[in-house]
Structure 1
Amino acid sequence: MRNDGVGKDSMDAVEHDKRGAGGRPAAGRKGEVDARLLDAATRLFLALGFDATSCDQVALDARAGKASIYARYANKGALFAAVIESNLARLFAAPDALDVDDSPLRERITAATMSVVEQALQPDAVALLRLLVAEAPRLRDMALSADQLRWRMGVGRVAGAIAARSSEPGAIARATVPATQLIDIVLAPALLRALLGEDGGGLMQSAKQCIGAAIDFLAAGGALDSWD
C-alpha cells in the first residue's frame, strides 16, 4: 500500500478536482499545477538543499499528487533542473523598458549590463546563486554548463545590445565574445561579494564604475572596433 505522507482518499479528491475528461488535468488547470509544483520545489530546494528534499514533500507542499510530479519529470534531478531553468528565466527576463537600439555603443552596453547586474543582485537571485554553488557538481551531471548559465544570466542581453545596429547574419553570436568578457569582469565579482553578505546598494555603485572600466579595457584591446 502506497504511503505518500497524506491520506490517499483526500489526495485523490484533490487530484479529481483538477482533472477533466479521461482523468487528465483540465486545460485551464494544467499550467496551475505546473506552477504550484515548481514554486513548491523552489522553496524546498532553497530551504533544504537537493538531498534533503523529496518528491513527496514537493507534492504535499504543492497540494498535488506524487503522480503529478512523475508525469512531468523523470526523477528529482529533472525536477531540480526545471527549477533552475524556470527561475533563471524569471529572474533574468529582459526588462520591457530596456530599449537602447538607437543609443551609442557605450550607452547600449552600459544600460544592458546594468540591467543584468540589478536583477542578479536581487535577494531571490542571490539565493538561487547559493543553491547553484551548493549543487554545482549535480548541475554538471545535468549538462547545465557554465556557458549556458552565463547566457541565461545576461550574456545574451548584452550581446544583443552590442549587435543592435548590425544587420550582419550571426552578429549576436559574434558579439557573444565581448559580452561574455563584460559579464565575467563585472558580474562575477559583484555576485561573489553579494554571497559574502555585502549591501546591494554599494555593489550597484561599484558595478557601474566597473562597467566603464571594462568597456575601456575591451575597447583598448580592439574587441569593440567593429561595432557602432
Structure 2
Amino acid sequence: MARTQAKVKRGDVARTVGLRGRVGRPPKALAGNIEERILDAAREVFLERGFDGTSIDEIAERAPASKPTIYARYAGKPALFAAIVERSIGELTALRSTYTPPAGTVQEKLAGLATAIVDRAMKESIGLLRVTIGEAYRFPDLSCQFHEVSRKRTTQVVAGLLADTIGSAAPKRPPSKTYEAAAEIFIDLIVLPLLMRALMGMKERTIRKEMPGFVRERVKIFLALHAKL
C-alpha cells in the first residue's frame, strides 16, 4: 500500500526527538492520521528486520510518534503486526467495491478476477507472509493468527467476488455456503500456487509471464468442480 504521508528522512525525525530520546510532537507537514503513520512505519520495519528484529523504538522514530502514543493504541509488537495484517486484508476487501469484471465469457471473467486477486496479494501480502513464515518456529501463535484471520477474511471476500462475477447473487446479498466452498477451491487451485511461486523466490516478471496460461487452465478446472457443488 502506498504510504499516505510523505516519507520522513532520518534527519527530519531526529529533530523531533527530545533530550530523553522520546519523539516529540510531529511538525505540521506530518499532520494526519497518527494510526496510519504508525502502521506504515511498522510495516516498513517488520519487512526490513523481521518480527524479532523489530523494535517499538524504531517504529516510533520512523512514524514519528511517541512510544506512549503507540502503546496507547497497540499493546505491543504482536498487536501491531495483527493490525498490519488486518489492514492488508482490508485492501483485498476493498477490491469487491472497485473491481469491474472484464466483458466476455464466465471463464474470461473468472480469469480476470483471479489475476486481480493475485496482483493485489502480491502487492500487499507477500512480504508479510515471508515475515510470518520466517518467524513461525519462534512465534507459532503469530503464524497461526495470521493464517486464520487472513484465510477467513479472504475466503469471505472471494466468495462475494465470485457471486458478483458469476452473477448468481445480488451484489449486496451475503455469500451462500456454496460460494464460500467455491471460494476455498478458487483460492487453493488458482491463487495460492501463484503466491507460493513468489514466496519461493520466483521473479515477479516470470510469474506474470506464466500467469495467463496458468489461470486459464485452472479456471476450466474450477468451473468443472463448481458445477458439482
Q: TM-score range by the shorter chain?
A: 0.7 to 0.9
The answer to whether residue 227 in structure 2 is matched with residue 224 in structure 1 is yes
Q: How does 1:116-135 map to 2 (within 5 A)?
A: 116-122=117-123, 125-135=125-135
CA distance in 2, matches of 1:9, 1:170: 53
Match of 1:213 among 207, 211, 217: 217
TM-score by length of 2: 0.72
Instruction: Report what 1:179 is aligned to.
Output: 183
State the shift of 1:113 in Å.
0.9
Task: Indicate if the aligned counterparts of 1:109 and 1:161 stay in contact, CA closer than 8 A.
Answer: no
Aligned CA-pair RMSD: 3.3
TM-score by length of 1: 0.73
Q: How does 1:129-208 map to 2 (within 5 A)?
A: 129-136=129-136, 138=139, 140-141=141-142, 144=145, 146-152=147-153, 154-164=154-164, 165-167=167-169, 170-208=174-212
> Aligned pair count?
207
Q: Which runs of 5+ in 2 are unaligned?
A: 1-16
Q: How does 1:46-57 map to 2 (within 5 A)?
A: 46-57=47-58
The structure with the largest alpha-carbon Rg is 1
Task: Indicate if the aligned counterparts of 1:100 and 1:108 stay in contact, CA closer than 8 A.
Answer: yes
State the shift of 1:213 in Å.
2.2
Task: Indicate if the aligned counterparts of 1:92 and 1:119 stay in contact, CA closer than 8 A.
Answer: no
Instruction: Report what 1:24 is aligned to.
Output: none
Instruction: Report what 2:18 is aligned to.
Output: 7
Partner amino acid, structure 2, of 1:116? I
Measured at CA, do residues 167 and 61 of structure 1 come closer, stay the same or move farther in structure 2, by a change above 3 Å?
closer
Q: Which runs of 5+ in 1 are unaligned?
A: 1-5, 19-27
Q: Which runs of 4+ in 1 moved over 6 A?
A: none
State the shift of 1:129 in Å.
2.3
Task: Indicate if the aligned counterparts of 1:160 and 1:175 stay in contact, CA closer than 8 A.
Answer: yes
